[in-house]
Structure 1
Amino acid sequence: MPTASNGSVSCYYETDGEGETVVFLGDVGYGAWQWGWQHAGLTGPFETLVTDLRGAGRSDAPPGPYAVDDFVADVQAVLDDHGERTVHVVGAGLGGMVALELARISTRPASLGLLGTAPGGADLTLDPLFGSPADPDELESSLAAALSRDFLDAHPDEVARIVDWRAAEDATREAWDAQAAAVEAFDITDRLYEVDCPALVLHGRDDAVWPLEYGRRLAENLPRGEFVELDGGHLIGIERSREVNDRLFGFFESA
């Protein structure tokens, strides 16, 4: 599978399908496993490009702390390596911040799909989301902050698979802290007017870590923002995958 280099940092990515490219940027600490539900739903009508943010999965984990600007430069390197100029971008949590900043400073994003994110992270408490990849019990218990109780109770087999994927791909504590520092330091609340591409903001009403109101205010302050509130917790792309995929598909088709 291909890698792109941003200076000394190697960034893993993989692509599938044909058509307009949709890039997926993940949340703090999670590997690319988190996009399996969207990959299955959007590949074919679109080319999907999934990358591990620095610190997680198969990308390098240099010493931190990181900044959102670091991730934006990594994504630019991936897109240059792949040869794509204009893309649709889907970002969750930290990845949503990266998507916003990429759209603010460049014309590469044709549109944005923003899941459970915010324009600033200083007031967030992300620690409940962390689980050590070496501790399966901790990985499972930390899902209580990411997924609703209804989902966890109704899908034990899915939860077990997620724990296995997290053990293989998620960030260590050191790398997780480096990623979380980027969230805490990021704030473009007063510069959202500079993000002028269409943006669909999807947020779980029971998100325990990235509050629903953050997503609502984000959409209201984006020049071309649209807000959709869905049942579920933080990882809404997993809990409501069919509806999320349908909404992303329609949004990208019309962008």
Structure 2
Amino acid sequence: MKIADLGDVKIHYRDDGDPSGAPVVFSNSLGTDLRLWDDVLPHLPGGLRLIRYDKRGHGLSDCPPGPYSMGALVTDAERLLDHLGVKECVFVGLSIGGMIAQGLAVKRLDLVRGMVISNTAAKIGTPEMWQERIDGVRKGGIEALADAVLERWFARPFRETDAFAAWRNMLVRQPVEGYAGCSAAIAGTDMLAATAQLTLPTLAIAGSEDGSTPPDLVRETAELVKGARFELIRGAGHLPCVEKPEEYAALLTGFLKEIGHV
């Protein structure tokens, strides 16, 4: 296990593949850790440097007291990439990870040559909605919200598989402080104007059954970025990299080849 000491926070990460290969960086959704991408990586081309990390408050990374800001989450990603000597990566972010991708591209275009914004938007929900979720988590723990969250995460067929139990366990075992802290970061984020200024190569991915960031919301976000491509994975919810890993990997591979990153 690898830990990057970034000063005020220690971030757990994995650095797989070819150390000299073109870097692809993966950022997770709220309530998951870096295992989110386990089933995608084996289907990607060889020769890539594949970096995953647990954002603050999740997985094996530190969980400082919240609330967090999106600026802090973006800075964590920025400092991690600087720590690892990464330049010109393709940054793949899902949900809150997709917001981090947008913020990092705005702040440090030298670090990001292309981005994949998956099941995300420039603005997700309302501050009131997120405050209600934060209050619910602090009162009853993540368990109190788990069933409603998981219905948005996964299409019904996946919820009937044995693997579903593992994802439920992953969600409810994240630290309450980290979940609430990152929820606050989403609540305070509106990147519509900033994202509309981006021109880097961009792939947007949505799941047809996504109840958290519906396809139309993802499509509208893609339309903010000049030349961005939108792709829909049918039969998948908020985490298509889990439900349809081969299809997800095929879209990502096509994008990497298209921009000459393979």
- Which of 44, 49, 59 in structure 2 is aligned with 1:42? 44
Specify the code of the residue in structure 1 equivalent to 2:82: D
Query: What corresponds to 1:64 in structure 2?
Result: 66
Query: What corresponds to 1:250 in structure 2?
Result: 254
1:125-162 CA distances to partner (integer Å, 9 max, x unpaired)? 5649x7957x6x97567422210112222xx2221333
1:3-57 CA distances to partner (integer Å, 9 max, x unpaired)? 2233221111111111211100011121112111222222734111010000000
Matched, 1:159 2:161: no
CA distance in 2, matches of 1:140, 1:157: 16
Q: Secondary structure at the match of 1:207?
A: coil
Matched, 1:220 2:227: no
- Which of 87, 90, 99 in structure 2 is aligned with 1:88? 90
Q: Secondary structure at the match of 1:161?
A: helix
Matched, 1:185 2:167: no
Query: What corresponds to 1:14 in structure 2?
Result: 14
Query: What corresponds to 1:146 in structure 2?
Result: 153
Query: What corresponds to 1:3 in structure 2?
Result: 3
CA distance in 1, matches of 2:165, 2:124: 30
Determine what percentage of the aligned residue pairs are the same residue.
27
Runs of 5+ in structure 1 lacking a partner?
none
CA distance in 2, matches of 1:10, 1:238: 27
Give 1:241 deviation, angstroms.
Answer: 1.2
CA distance in 1, matches of 2:45, 2:35: 15
Q: Secondary structure at the match of 1:222?
A: coil
Specify the code of the residue in structure 2 equivalent to 1:148: A
Give 1:165 deviation, angstroms.
Answer: 4.2
Moved more, 48-57 or 118-127: 118-127
CA distance in 2, matches of 1:43, 1:27: 24
Cα RMSD of the aligned pairs, angstroms, is 2.4
CA distance in 2, matches of 1:122, 1:161: 27
C-alpha contact (below 8 Å) 1:93/1:116 kept by paired residues: yes
Q: How many residues align?
A: 249
Specify the code of the residue in structure 2 equivalent to 1:25: S
- Which of 147, 168, 179 in structure 2 is aligned with 1:176? 179
Moved more, 116-125 or 53-62: 116-125
1:168-193 CA distances to partner (integer Å, 9 max, x unpaired)? xx522222111011111111112223
- Which of 222, 237, 240 in structure 1 is aligned with 2:241? 237
1:176-235 CA distances to partner (integer Å, 9 max, x unpaired)? 111011111111112223222111000012211112211010111111311112212111
CA distance in 1, matches of 2:36, 2:45: 15
CA distance in 2, matches of 1:138, 1:177: 12
Runs of 5+ in structure 2 lacking a partner?
none
C-alpha contact (below 8 Å) 1:118/1:214 kept by paired residues: yes
